[in-house]
Structure 1
């Protein structure tokens, strides 16, 4: 099983590309699974907001994402896929935590149980372009979807690019161009 991760700031195109790549691999006969780490924790957060209004802050959402990632990784070990496509991975959580100056000692311990992806694609985009994309979707802007915060997250990703062997993609390219580039890495 190959594990592929898409990382980058909000608005870079992670969700769109992860879906496109997973669908394309399935069309080509591969067993592919796309995972979006925020999906599972939304149910938990809705429950908490109903029963403890005002408790759920952005920091708590990041903690829930960490637990969700760990849960999904453990569950995947019993599944048979050719490709697992992660729409976000622990690198995203690290960048977002650090940009908020949140240091939770046990978080790094949990990450140590996760296998790094075989390939990690970082979608690089300027925070101003990312915010423009976010404003054009049909959803309200979230508290952390702003140029200042996304610039801090971008700075954290730059540090990670030095440490890890990410494949950098220009997220300002068309989705079709990016899809071709990604498939050339996966199927070569």
Structure 2
């Protein structure tokens, strides 16, 4: 979800024009939901958009993009902004987020599970998500933006002691992403954002997050051809510009390879 402040619109409850808070959320069906909130009266207007005009551009085999990083790095916000950018360029795009299945998510966040149980649950959730949403979309030539993928398990669960080879074996039926954007941010900065946003989950312990960040950076070093590391400590706009620069390079390379 991406939040911003927009131009003035009429609020029927106030009887006057107000400056609304705007929330944009990309959905798995390829829509962009835009909600306008009055500071006094809450939600006053909702729009649903498909940002592309005419027939959306397709990429043979699709393009599977992962956004990874510790909690508080801004993945969800940047996923929505990237969705807007790519749909405005004429591509058919969907956004998904792990964990996907609500029942699995509730178990993961409610109970203090053994790390092996976490690995299996995340893998089961991932397989369901891919077979229901991701793989069909890729087969249709769409771009799939995923807020977390297999690499989240390789960073988070291995930081709790799970062997990475074990994690990969459990996820052997999972398709890895084509590109991984790692939103790297110092833990202290991420914790500032998290404390301002909501109550913390058990996955958002600073000591744990230090280990997770180290795991992510090591994965990026080991798989340089797949990972693109971005500095996520700046403003939303600054990080988005980094995305645009890199995604344009990727799209140009895809076009060059096609010709």
Q: Same fold (TM over 0.5)?
A: yes
Residues 1-188 of structure 1 mapped to structure 2, 5 A cutoff: 1-40=62-101, 42-46=102-106, 56-58=111-113, 59=115, 60-61=117-118, 63-75=120-132, 76-79=134-137, 80-103=140-163, 107-137=167-197, 139-165=198-224, 166-188=227-249
2:202 aligns to what SS in structure 1? coil
**For each residue in 1:119-164, what CA deviation from the matched residue of structure 2 results, as whole angstroms up to 9, or x when unmatched?**
1111111111111110000x21112212111001111112212211
Q: Is the 8 A contact 1:95 1:156 kept in 2?
A: yes
Shift of 1:87: 0.3
Query: With structure 2 as the length reference, what TM-score do the two structures score?
Result: 0.63
Cα-Cα RMSD: 2.2
Q: Distance in 2 between matches of 1:128 and 1:5?
A: 24
Which gives a bigger RCO, structure 1 or 2 (Cα 8 Å, sep 6+)?
A: 1
Change (3 A) 1:106 1:156: closer
Normalized per residue, which structure has more strand? 2
Shift of 1:105: 6.8
Normalized per residue, which structure has more helix? 1
Which ranges of structure 1 fall in alignment gaps of 5 or more residues? none
Larger CA Rg, structure 1 vs 2 = 2
Shift of 1:64: 2.4
Following superposition, which runs of at least 4 residues in structure 1 exceed 6 angstroms of deviation?
A: none
Query: With structure 1 as the length reference, what TM-score do the two structures score?
Result: 0.84
In the alignment of these two chains, the number of paired residues is 180
1:172 aligns to what SS in structure 2? coil
Shift of 1:61: 4.9
